[in-house]
Chains A and B, each alone.
Chain A
């Protein structure tokens, strides 16, 4: 498959309703990161530095009073993210 095609396939997965993102987790649910479906370099770079990379397990801990942001557990620590950003993290749930 060509790059362009593959990229397109990936972005389609990200945009269809069935694809799961970090923002879709329910409290206490766990998922495995499969990728970051976003082209913005800054966001990717920063998520990577926080350890949000393919293959790691991440769990939704709690939600702030107004529904946003939320805190997640990963690699043994707690990270809080806004839902807008969490939506770019693609997950697989076992």
Chain B
């Protein structure tokens, strides 16, 4: 064949957590998120690469256990297969978990698209003492079988070769025939003849067999599609009733059972246990004895969380000082370089103050993300969901909502996206609405600034307590939303617990680098804009000569705004600077800190900022302020994602409104109770 004009399209299809994204990243050089739990990837992602002169367009699909699934991302995956007609399907299998992985394989080969089979995680299979006869497997499945260790890149070039080779010679692909029991075969043949009459010359034998099997299985989408052919549907139903009568099992179960029997026979001939499992393969068992212990499991989880926030606070302190010193030196330079003028003022007291005030929190954010990626890459996150399912359930949240909520510690917008793994619309909506209460990394600078200014050695614990509060409020809000959201059905909780895996240094580094970049982008964007805005509002309209500083401020736009909003916050004990900071934080919560920095630009460095904070507020009010910032209004990007994922502005509005009420009320209670102790 001549060189391809059109790129060769290949889709990675396989069970959740079998290493599709790891393989995708190796094939394309991309950086899709890899983590050790099911359903990390919730939207398809494509990338084009050159391979031996051809262009390969590779798509990483969300994981699927079956092609009959009804999860939103399962449908997306299946629709991509049905309607985008990839040239090659790359079926990724977990070599250590072949029995279950092959169930999807059977459905794929029945569809009749050319398949390449990738036995990933072959390293783990070997450590279990398992050896697989790839030649025999390839003969049975009708396409090339390649062993890989995707995380290390072992075998990955061979996958690209196989995709290329198969698309060049599609005729070399022979879809194997999966045998069913004789009664089922008779029914399939019967339905097939009706299909052949209805769709003359459009479907070949393989396709009509596939359609017949799918209809007998009760595939609702295909039944819908063929619904105009009343006779066909009636025959299918009659065949099903007949089979059920003689076999005492419904058709779908019979078909599934036949497939599993086929797999069992196949595995008996291609898989052998050649040696005893190594100690590495028992590691998961021993670790779980401790981490999932009936009495110790939950205390350990709480302890790990505490450790994470404590470390975020204390380890972050050192690099923070360096950045702070650096920024002050830089500000000094700028101060000397620009002659006294409006520009000088804008740069030094606006931009530099805002940027300097926020950028010092970079280390804390990076450390937090580092710990979070360790949790998710080792496989502990899935365990946390297991430990807490019962608790979550009593709050009306689905156990699967836990992973999105924990991801919310990083970013709420990501968390809302991650709720796509929840099948029931109702459970999903509740999770979406509860997610913004989880304290995201953007709140962290506020906490660290205030806790550091007011609580000295206890700062780490105060931050931990705020995180705990955020979880309690998220759970509590779920009860509320449970009432508000229209009634619907709950879904069963079924989750695979993956073995513990070692995080790969390269992906850890990438996570950390990515989070740093993200934060710096915010500093370079919304923070600079916010700081400049505050500075302008503070300076204009220009005051007549002879005004004192406070008079000047009073008549500025900023002063006027503050006068308007301060009464709302007065019962909470917040002053005008606090009110302004809260207002600007609607953009994004880091802006709260940069606004303070601009408003207090005369105090040099973060030490100065802390001092002027602690002189203007009592500790109870400081806690109340942190509680308010924790809970009020999702940031703009989260609101946009809520709108998209919940499907209407209404829910975004509900989320915004309810959060203001909750934040104000809880902050009020905090101030009140704190006042009693002070």
**Using a CB–CB distance below 8 Å, which chain A residues touch chain B?**
2-3, 6-7, 10, 35-36, 41-51, 53-56, 61-69, 71, 75-82, 84-85
- The interface residues of chain A lying within 8 Å CB-to-CB of B389 are 64, 68-69, 80, 82
Asked if B195 is an interface residue, CB under 8 A from chain A, the answer is: no
Whether the Cβ atoms of A49 and B97 lie closer than 8 Å is no
- The interface residues of chain B lying within 8 Å CB-to-CB of A2 are 245
- The interface residues of chain A lying within 8 Å CB-to-CB of B295 are 65
For the complex formed, measure the closest distance between the CB of A4 and the CB atoms of chain B, giving whole angstroms.
10
- The interface residues of chain A lying within 8 Å CB-to-CB of B250 are 44
- The interface residues of chain B lying within 8 Å CB-to-CB of A67 are 390
- The interface residues of chain B lying within 8 Å CB-to-CB of A45 are 66, 68-70, 252
- The interface residues of chain B lying within 8 Å CB-to-CB of A41 are 218, 252
**Nearest opposing residue in chain A for B218, CB measure:** A41
**Using a CB–CB distance below 8 Å, which chain B residues touch chain A?**
65-66, 68-70, 96-97, 99-100, 103, 128, 218, 244-245, 248-250, 252-253, 256-257, 260, 288, 292, 294-295, 297-298, 386-387, 389-391, 399, 491-497
Q: Is the interface of A mostly helix, strand, loop or mixed?
A: mixed
Query: Among A3, A49, A62, A68, which residue has its beta carbon within 8 angstroms of that of B390?
Result: A68
Across the A-B interface, give the 8 residue pairs with the lowest CB-CB distance, nearest first: A49-B66, A49-B65, A66-B390, A78-B497, A75-B99, A51-B100, A48-B256, A3-B245
- A6-B248, A48-B256 in contact; A64/B390 too (CB < 8 A)? yes
**Nearest opposing residue in chain A for B250, CB measure:** A44
- The interface residues of chain B lying within 8 Å CB-to-CB of A35 are 249
- The interface residues of chain A lying within 8 Å CB-to-CB of B387 are 64-65
Whether the Cβ atoms of A76 and B96 lie closer than 8 Å is yes
- The interface residues of chain B lying within 8 Å CB-to-CB of A49 are 65-66, 68-69, 103
Query: Among B218, B244, B493, which residue has its beta carbon within 8 angstroms of that of A3?
Result: B244
Query: Among B97, B248, B494, which residue has its beta carbon within 8 angstroms of that of A81?
Result: B494
Roughly how many angstroms separate A62 CA and B295 CA in the complex, as a whole number?
12
- The interface residues of chain B lying within 8 Å CB-to-CB of A75 are 97, 99-100
- The interface residues of chain B lying within 8 Å CB-to-CB of A64 are 292, 294, 297, 386-387, 389-390
**Nearest opposing residue in chain A for B497, CB measure:** A78
Between-chain CB contacts (< 8 Å), 25 pairs: A3-B244, A3-B248, A35-B249, A43-B492, A44-B252, A46-B65, A49-B69, A51-B260, A55-B260, A61-B288, A62-B288, A64-B390, A66-B390, A67-B390, A69-B386, A69-B399, A71-B386, A71-B497, A75-B97, A75-B99, A78-B497, A80-B389, A81-B492, A82-B399, A85-B493
- The interface residues of chain A lying within 8 Å CB-to-CB of B493 are 69, 80-82, 85
**Nearest opposing residue in chain A for B264, CB measure:** A55
Roughly how many angstroms separate A58 CA and B216 CA in the complex, as a whole number?
28
For the complex formed, measure the closest distance between the CB of B537 and the CB atoms of chain A, giving whole angstroms.
52
**Nearest opposing residue in chain A for B260, CB measure:** A53
Whether the Cβ atoms of B495 and A79 lie closer than 8 Å is yes
Whether the Cβ atoms of B256 and A53 lie closer than 8 Å is yes
- 11 A-B pairs besides A46-B69, A76-B99, A79-B497 with CB distance below 8 A are A36-B253, A50-B494, A54-B249, A56-B260, A61-B288, A68-B390, A71-B386, A71-B497, A77-B100, A80-B493, A82-B399
Query: Among A47, A53, A63, A77, which residue has its beta carbon within 8 angstroms of that of B97?
Result: A77
Whether the Cβ atoms of A53 and B257 lie closer than 8 Å is yes
Roughly how many angstroms separate A68 CA and B395 CA in the complex, as a whole number?
15
Roughly how many angstroms separate A43 CA and B389 CA in the complex, as a whole number?
18
- The interface residues of chain B lying within 8 Å CB-to-CB of A65 are 294-295, 297-298, 387, 390
Whether the Cβ atoms of B248 and A10 lie closer than 8 Å is yes
**Nearest opposing residue in chain A for B259, CB measure:** A53
**Nearest opposing residue in chain B for A77, CB measure:** B97
For the complex formed, measure the closest distance between the CB of B414 and the CB atoms of chain A, giving whole angstroms.
24
**Nearest opposing residue in chain B for A42, CB measure:** B70
**Nearest opposing residue in chain B for A43, CB measure:** B492
Query: Among A55, A68, A79, which residue has its beta carbon within 8 angstroms of that of B494?
Result: A79
- The interface residues of chain A lying within 8 Å CB-to-CB of B494 are 46-47, 50, 79-81, 85
**Nearest opposing residue in chain B for A84, CB measure:** B492
Whether the Cβ atoms of A42 and B253 lie closer than 8 Å is no
Whether the Cβ atoms of B491 and A42 lie closer than 8 Å is yes
Query: Among B68, B99, B496, which residue has its beta carbon within 8 angstroms of that of A79?
Result: B496
- The interface residues of chain A lying within 8 Å CB-to-CB of B497 are 71, 78-80
